[in-house]
Amino acid sequence: SPHEGFAAVVKARYSDFVVHEVDRDGNIARLESLETPQPKIETKVVQPAEDNVNAEAGENTKKRKEPESANVPTPDPDNKRPNNSSSETGETQKTPTSDWDSRKEDLTKLIGDSPAQELVSFLQKYETDEEPADKDVEKFYTLPLISDKQVRRSVHFLIKSPAFSSMARADNHDGKIRIWHKRFEKSMPKDTFKGGNRGGGNGNNKNSRSDNGGKRGGPKRAPWPRDRPDFLRFVLYKENIDTSTAVRDVNRMAHMNPRKGIGYAGMKDKRGITTQFCTAYRMEKEQLLAVNARGTGGSGGGAAENASGGGNTSTKGVSVIKLGNFSYSSDEARLGTLSGNRFDIVLRNIDVGGDADDAGAQKQLVQQKLENAGKALMATGFINYFGMQRFGRSHDTHEVGIAVLKGDFQAAIEIIMREKNGESSFITEARKRWMNRFESIDVSKDEDAAREAESKCARAIQRDIGRFMVCEKSIVTTLSRQPR
Cα separation of 477 and 125, whole Å? 54
Q: What is the β-pairing status of strands 273-281 and 17-22?
A: parallel
Average pLDDT on 112-118 reads 89
- Please determine, for residue 442, whether its predicted confidence score (pLDDT) is greater than 90: no
pLDDT for the residue numbered 41? 43
Cα separation of 332 and 330, whole Å? 7
Stretch among 14-28, 271-285, 347-361, 404-418 having the lowest mean pLDDT: 347-361
Average pLDDT on 364-373 reads 88
Catalogue the E-assigned strands of 346-420.
347-351
Whether the CB-CB separation of 275 and 30 falls below 8 Å is answered with: yes
Q: Which residue has the higher pLDDT, 360 or 477?
A: 477
Banded pLDDT at 129 (limits 50, 70, 90): low
pLDDT for the residue numbered 162? 80
Stretch among 153-157, 195-199, 331-335 having the lowest mean pLDDT: 195-199
pLDDT for the residue numbered 96? 53
Q: What is the chain's Cα-based Rg?
A: 31
Burial of 3 (0-12, 13-18, 19+ CB in 10 A): middle
Cα separation of 136 and 122, whole Å? 15
Q: Which residue has the higher pLDDT, 74 or 418?
A: 418
pLDDT for the residue numbered 45? 45
Q: Which residue has the higher pLDDT, 339 or 136?
A: 339
- Please determine, for residue 402, whether its predicted confidence score (pLDDT) is greater than 90: yes
pLDDT for the residue numbered 174? 82
Residue of 121, 123, 107, 203 whose CA lies nearest to 155? 107
Banded pLDDT at 209 (limits 50, 70, 90): very low
CA distance readout (Å), 465 to 129, 335, 428, 429: 54, 17, 10, 10
pLDDT for the residue numbered 346? 93
pLDDT for the residue numbered 363? 85
Stretch among 134-148, 232-246, 285-299, 463-477 having the lowest mean pLDDT: 285-299
pLDDT more than 70, % of the chain: 71
pLDDT for the residue numbered 136? 67
pLDDT for the residue numbered 465? 82
Residue of 305, 345, 245 whose CA lies nearest to 20? 345
pLDDT for the residue numbered 244? 87
Helices 447-461 + 425-435 axis angle, to 10: 170
Q: Which residues contact 223 (CB under 8 A, 6 or more apart)?
A: none
Give tens-digit pLDDT for 272-331: 999 999 999 988 888 888 888 765 433 334 555 444 444 555 555 678 999 999 999 999
Cα separation of 457 and 433, whole Å? 7
* Averaged pLDDT score across all residues of the chain: 77
pLDDT for the residue numbered 468? 67
